[in-house]
Structure 1
Amino acid sequence: MKKLNHFLSSYIATIILLAFYAFGLAAATFIEKYHGTDVAKSLIYYSPLFFSLQFLMVVNFIMIIIKYRYFQRRRWALIVVHFAFIVILLGALITHLFGKDGMVHIREGETTNQITLKTPEGIKYETLPFTLKLVDFRLIRYPGSESPSSYESDLLVEYADGKIQKTKVYMNNVLNVKGYRFFQASFDKDEMGTLLSVNKDGLGKTITYSGYFLLLIGFILVFTTKNSRFRQLNLQLKEVKKTYRSTITWLLFLVFPCTLSAQHMPPINMMEAVQKNAIDPQHAARFGELPMQWNGRIVPVNTFSSEILRKVHKELTIGKLNSDQFLLSFLSMPQMWMQVPFIAVSNKEISHYYQLPLDYCAYFQLIDEEGNYVLMTKLQEAYYKLPAERSSFDKDLIKLDERVNIVSQLLNCQLLCIFPHPTDSIHTWYAPGKDLSTFPKEDSLFITRSFAWYLSEVNSALKSGNWNKPNQLLQVIGEYQKRNDTASQINHRKLNAEIRYNRLDIFGHCQIGYFILGGLLVVFAFIGLFKPKKWLDTVIKILTGGIFLIFMYHLYGMGLRAYISGYAPWSNSYETMVYAGWATILAGFVFGRKSSTVPLALATLFGGIILFVSELNWMDPQINPLVPVLKSPWLMFHVAILVAAYGFFGVSFLLGIANLTMMVFYDNNSLISYRVKELSIINQMALMIGLALMCIGTFLGAIWANESWGRYWGWDPKETWALITIVMYTIVTHIHLIKKGNSDWLFNVLSIIAFSSVLMTFFGVNYFFSGMHSYGQNDAMKGIIFYLSIPFVLISFLAVFSYKRSRRSEQIITFFD
């Protein structure tokens, strides 16, 4: 018994319990993938063994508090943070044992007082102390789109005393009646019925939210109280710098990522012809400013043309033509463009099978002499297969067909929706090639004739060089748009802002700037290692100033995107990557002042890499309307804080690599030893900030989930891996408590390994699992996961080589101390 008590009151037990907890959570996500959610909950999440593990973690903390007299030592920050987690676990237990979770389905005009409850024993029914009547259900779509903007239910609540209450339920707007909370979950396909989720968990919610509040208070104390770990690390850092002032002694080999565009353009005369007959850039720009409706938004034609060219051609220009020139040239000279090889073919097997050119093919090459679509037979075979059974040939063929369909619709003038319907109830805009029978006769004639006339005048201007007539016709079309924009959807300020955003390519330029300035910062730091000069300080300050200017330009780009979209710019994978790059460099600035240029240089390079990844073809930079569940202020706080945590974890990852690299090159040089010690302290401080942000961001997401659909934790793979990330970094930040684990080498190795959980949360979940947080599985993600695994293999060798050197480094530090 004494041995058990001794073990449970030890820090070793803390690390072991946390490791088992993380392993169990990770195993559960894979069990869920292959055997379903119910099996994962039965074997892991709600199993007696897992509850016992959590109970032992609580016992371990209480026994450590008593053993090490934390109350007497007034370690209030530590006590409050850990006690908050106990309260959160208690709230979760009460919710699990006593909370009610169910559904209610009502058709329009019907009344019910029954809800269907989900229990471990099966499905049960419960009678409500009131009745609900669905008066009306509405699915509101974005103008001119099938995408839902909102879905809402008008209800009548009738109480036992005869009192009747009118109310409305929609996403992020909850109905609370006698402790029962109703959330808009789904609806019937005919849009005549509603499906509401029901939750009753007053006590569990109160306790859990109290835990979240205590957690926030605890983290504030962590960074403000005098005897907290963070303040102690800050004092240690000052002591290290005071004891031995040294120049930066580290080397980072930078490989600038580069893209090689090997465009195979057969010498077809039509390509030369369309290049010679280029649309006047000024007129093309005016054409690009024209408003149009696309994907539920009013956008400038420039946005549409850029996206079309990116999807079809995989580039933002074609030869010397920009996207606006390409689109107008295509519409005015379709016969020529049918013979131009500009449709991207990404599979060599497809090119070989259909005898197409490599990389790009022409539209006419996909139509045989009898007018048949040559891809049709194989395409039907691909669609008949289950998605999991499709080969890379099948998948790439489907993608090629999507590009061909876009070109086909452009040929038929069916995509350019620039004409608003004057009386349409959902304010749809139409393209000239669409069915215009619902328009007044005069309007339909104007649309077909004016656009055909405009394209004819464009052709004439190409010959004469006089663009006055096309400019006048663009003005006529613009006046028609203003006259018939009954919903006032045209906002010229936003349209101009979007054109500016498209043309500036802000994040592309920031990426280049980060690589160049970050690389120079590395070079000058390396020179300063051997030949310290005063002029180096001036150069470093100039480079730091340049990075700051790019950093602010990066922020301007995110702000501009937020203004255009109308929501926080981190709602999809592309936007989140862009924000993660900015947050990483912010973390570099936070710690750059503490250790010369090392954290900032590493963060700048890493920020450039993140932006580089965001620009890859598998990322979609398109601005889309928000789905209903994301229309919540919680989105801004939850994602912003969470991704900021990733930025600090990224800086920690690079600091760990830098430290191990210096250990490898250590050669009886105490300068490097002290620099490793200094950067290791900064690494610990960065992890503490990252862990605090990760906890706060995760639990803000839990509050969002509870306010949106009635549960703050559903063991979705994304949620689970976020929790695993918290546990992993908790292990890293607590490893110093073990006597044998209090070494810079072990800490830096673990800070690197822990970053794999961030990559799994951010990338891996989208590839390996499916869930409500996944951005959608992507074939290119497989390659991303493969390339991400290579650095960790190399880091394994680095860890081995640096181990023996680190022992000698620690001995020298001890000798000098």
Structure 2
Amino acid sequence: MKVLKFAIGLCLGLLLIAMPIGQFQPSALDSLETMTVQQGGRKKPLDTVAQETVAKIYGGTTYKHDGIEESSLETFLSLWLNNRNWNEEPFVLVSYRPLKELAGLDLEQKHFSFETLMKNQPLGDIVRLAHRKQMDDEDLTRDEREALTIEDRLQLMLSMVNDNAIAIVPHPNDIKGKWVGITEAQTLYGAESVAPLLASFTIIKQTILSGTDHLPMLAPLATSLKAGLASLSPDIYPTGGVMHREVFFNHFHPFAKAWQLYAIAFVLMLIALWVQPFNLYWTAIGTFVAGVAVQGYGFWLRMQIAGRPPVTNMYESVVWVGFGIAAIALMFELSQRSKYYLLAAAPLSVVCLILADSLPAVLDPSISPLVPVLRDNFWLSIHVPTIALSYASFALALGLGHVALGSYLFTPNAQARIKLLSQLNYRVLQVGILLLTAGIILGGIWAHFSWGRFWGWDPKETWALIALLCYLVPLHGRLVGWIGNFGISVASVVAFNAVLMAWYGVNFVLGTGLHSYGFGTGGSEMMIASVVGLDLLFVLLAVMRHRGWLDRLLIAETDSSPVVSSHTSGH
């Protein structure tokens, strides 16, 4: 019976994975998706170029305007051909509120036109100041870093209006050589060799500009152009299968499907926990396993595309932490059968994957060549994943801590459950400390080989050490009897703020140090601070309930309220 229920959950997951959602609907532009382009130091399909370009400028891969939704490829081709007035369309993302205040922009508006931003004098002044400080090797403020990001978006948008914006012609004999645009190809191959390709390219442009009625003609034209480009340099031009794999990855959205499966598993586990007649425990486990499997498959695809472990930027670390939370919880759940591991892990994995899926301007999902310090794949493959898995362990402890504190707050008499949750939490914290300690040591060894020193009090190193100490203190305190079950639950929630600072704060708030390859812009400190504040308020309420202060406060308020007499005058 258990096997049957597990199989039902697994099949439910596979059914969701196999469902042909809108992204698999055929389009007249599909024939252009797999055209190979050299950009950003690697060769990628035009579909990826379109998604990355639109996401970097607009902040999403689907452009919505005047009640119309355009795919990234449709938007990219329109930008490239400049077939409408892009100067006046509100297309450029400006999300950082303090910068909008300084520039005098509408605080409630997220997207602005190219013309509006180019003519904004205060914004231009901030950009020029940032460039001067960069020349003097001075640290930039958050406003200046955000302003440079806006400048990059404007420059990217401007560079798209050019036939040579997409380098589709391969180098004749160097696999690492620079590709060129179609009109520049004569310098590499001569006018006679390129003339037929240039003619096909021109016809493709005219076909797209002619409107939707002529788009069915694109398929044979695109196939002919791709075959001609491959024949120019057969040994250099990538095979079609490589490009098809990346386009499949772009449209399959494995990480989006994974969080959907985690969410379903969470609901099923809630039913299994609270509605006793419906024993859906193994169905929930099966669905959760399907989520872990599809996310693992997504990682494998991304590794095949990138040729390296997918843990080199903030986007990949968020997705990896979401995977780590789920995988660690699944291992503990299968050994303990407590139900609470999965219950605590599923919402956290869902949050990680939704953030990664919905914020491409903040968590850049593009695959880029590694900076020199990261090119030693041995250290990259063990140090960064180990640190990220420690974050995942502490995040799982955060989830268990919330379940435990919720029990203290709403069902304080459930002592058996509270004791169990504390024991589960303690085991996860031990794993997290082991992983973080190992990760810090491995990072020090890597730093010794890369930078010539084991430890340099870099902000990333310092906050990783602070996070480790924030967990070591309560664990040792529990070992010697200084704190009990309640204290370990509070510590697992409060100490995660140190992890949040090491993970998010150093990258997006401080933005200084030798770990600059992980830095980013666009993060919202106010939103993070609000979430942390609400979380600490929840902890405070749990503390007040546990200490009896909340009950005494409620009794005091009841006693001080006026008593209405049951007798009325006028008898």
Same fold (TM over 0.5): yes
Distance 2:431 2:404 in 1: 20
Instruction: Name 1:235's counterpart in structure 2.
Output: none
Instruction: Name 2:394's counterpart in structure 1.
Output: 649
Distance apart, 1:324 and its partner CA:
2.2
Distance apart, 1:424 and its partner CA:
6.5
Question: Structure 1 vs Structure 2: percent identity of aligned residues?
Answer: 24
Distance apart, 1:573 and its partner CA:
1.0
Q: State which of 396, 399, 405 in structure 1 corresponds to 2:155.
A: 405
Change (3 A) 1:283 1:337: farther
Q: Return 5+ residue gaps in structure 1 as ranges.
A: 1-279, 367-372, 809-817
Give secondary structure in 2 for the equivalent of 1:429. coil
Change (3 A) 1:402 1:490: same
Distance apart, 1:691 and its partner CA:
1.2
The answer as to whether partners of 2:127 and 2:151 remain within 8 angstroms in 1 is no
| TM-score, structure 2 as length reference | 0.80
Is structure 2 residue 342 aligned with structure 1 residue 600?
yes
Cα shift readout 1:496-523 (whole Å, capped 9, x = no counterpart): 1111110011112222332343244335
Give secondary structure in 2 for the equivalent of 1:780. coil
Distance apart, 1:435 and its partner CA:
8.6
Distance apart, 1:391 and its partner CA:
8.8
Distance 2:500 2:142 in 1: 27
Give secondary structure in 2 for the equivalent of 1:420. coil
Change (3 A) 1:694 1:362: closer
The answer as to whether partners of 1:345 and 1:358 remain within 8 angstroms in 2 is no
Letter in 2 for 1:752: V
Distance apart, 1:356 and its partner CA:
13
The answer as to whether partners of 1:664 and 1:802 remain within 8 angstroms in 2 is yes
Instruction: Name 2:136's counterpart in structure 1.
Output: none
Give secondary structure in 2 for the equivalent of 1:422. coil
Change (3 A) 1:706 1:362: closer
Q: State which of 508, 513, 533 in structure 1 corresponds to 2:261.
A: 513
Letter in 1 for 2:166: L
Instruction: Name 1:321's counterpart in structure 2.
Output: 70
Question: Equivalent residues in 2 for 1:466-545 (5 A)?
Answer: 466-467=216-217, 470-485=218-233, 488-525=236-273, 527-528=274-275, 532-533=276-277, 536-537=278-279, 539-545=280-286
Distance apart, 1:702 and its partner CA:
2.0
Q: State which of 532, 539, 542 in structure 2 corresponds to 1:789.
A: 532
Distance 2:462 2:106 in 1: 48
Give secondary structure in 2 for the equivalent of 1:292. strand
Give secondary structure in 2 for the equivalent of 1:771. coil
Distance apart, 1:430 and its partner CA:
1.3
| TM-score, structure 1 as length reference | 0.57
Letter in 2 for 1:625: P
Question: Equivalent residues in 2 for 1:686-705 (5 A)?
Answer: 686-705=428-447
Question: Equivalent residues in 2 for 1:21-36 (5 A)?
Answer: none
Choose between structure 1 and 2: higher helix proportion: 2
Distance 1:384 1:573 in 2: 28
Is structure 2 residue 192 aligned with structure 1 residue 442?
yes
Change (3 A) 1:603 1:432: same
Is structure 2 residue 172 aligned with structure 1 residue 422?
yes
Is structure 2 residue 521 aligned with structure 1 residue 746?
no
Change (3 A) 1:714 1:799: same
Distance 1:293 1:637 in 2: 30
The answer as to whether partners of 2:259 and 2:350 remain within 8 angstroms in 1 is yes
Letter in 1 for 2:190: P
Instruction: Name 1:619's counterpart in structure 2.
Output: 363
Distance 2:196 2:122 in 1: 42
Distance apart, 1:720 and its partner CA:
2.0
Letter in 2 for 1:650: A
Distance 1:425 1:679 in 2: 56
Letter in 1 for 2:341: P
Letter in 2 for 1:582: F
Give secondary structure in 2 for the equivalent of 1:293. strand
Distance 2:167 2:74 in 1: 18
Distance apart, 1:613 and its partner CA:
2.5
Letter in 2 for 1:315: G
The answer as to whether partners of 1:580 and 1:646 remain within 8 angstroms in 2 is yes
Distance apart, 1:543 and its partner CA:
1.8
Distance apart, 1:299 and its partner CA:
0.4
Instruction: Name 2:499's counterpart in structure 1.
Output: 758
Instruction: Name 1:636's counterpart in structure 2.
Output: 381
Distance 1:335 1:500 in 2: 28
The answer as to whether partners of 1:519 and 1:605 remain within 8 angstroms in 2 is no
Q: State which of 512, 516, 533 in structure 2 corresponds to 1:770.
A: 512
Distance 2:192 2:260 in 1: 52
Q: State which of 289, 296, 306 in structure 1 corresponds to 2:41.
A: 296
Distance 1:391 1:471 in 2: 47
Distance apart, 1:596 and its partner CA:
2.5
Distance 1:433 1:408 in 2: 18
Count of residues paired in the alignment: 507
Instruction: Name 1:610's counterpart in structure 2.
Output: 352
Is structure 2 residue 312 aligned with structure 1 residue 546?
no
Is structure 2 residue 32 aligned with structure 1 residue 287?
yes
Question: Equivalent residues in 2 for 1:668-747 (5 A)?
Answer: 669=413, 672-739=414-481, 741-747=482-488
Change (3 A) 1:477 1:751: same
Distance apart, 1:645 and its partner CA:
1.6
Letter in 2 for 1:326: T
The answer as to whether partners of 2:57 and 2:156 remain within 8 angstroms in 1 is yes
Change (3 A) 1:431 1:351: farther
Give secondary structure in 2 for the equivalent of 1:414. helix
Give secondary structure in 2 for the equivalent of 1:700. helix
Change (3 A) 1:337 1:281: farther
Is structure 2 residue 122 aligned with structure 1 residue 381?
no
Instruction: Name 2:15's counterpart in structure 1.
Output: none
Task: Compare 627-636 and 672-681 and name the one that shifted more.
Answer: 627-636
Is structure 2 residue 309 aligned with structure 1 residue 568?
yes
Distance 1:342 1:571 in 2: 32
Change (3 A) 1:603 1:453: same
Cα shift readout 1:681-730 (whole Å, capped 9, x = no counterpart): 11111111111122122212222223334332222221222222222222
Choose between structure 1 and 2: higher strand proportion: 1
Question: Equivalent residues in 2 for 1:121-160 (5 A)?
Answer: none
Distance 1:459 1:602 in 2: 52
Distance 2:79 2:528 in 1: 38
Distance apart, 1:567 and its partner CA:
0.2
Instruction: Name 1:244's counterpart in structure 2.
Output: none
Change (3 A) 1:493 1:735: same
Change (3 A) 1:342 1:716: same
Change (3 A) 1:435 1:378: farther
Distance 1:379 1:726 in 2: 41
The answer as to whether partners of 1:284 and 1:328 remain within 8 angstroms in 2 is no
Change (3 A) 1:495 1:732: same
Distance apart, 1:409 and its partner CA:
2.1
Bigger Rg over Cα = 1
Distance 1:673 1:689 in 2: 25
Is structure 2 residue 57 aligned with structure 1 residue 312?
yes
Give secondary structure in 2 for the equivalent of 1:344. strand
Change (3 A) 1:587 1:465: closer
Letter in 1 for 2:89: P
The answer as to whether partners of 1:382 and 1:390 remain within 8 angstroms in 2 is no
Cα shift readout 1:176-195 (whole Å, capped 9, x = no counterpart): xxxxxxxxxxxxxxxxxxxx
Distance 2:405 2:106 in 1: 52
Letter in 2 for 1:497: R
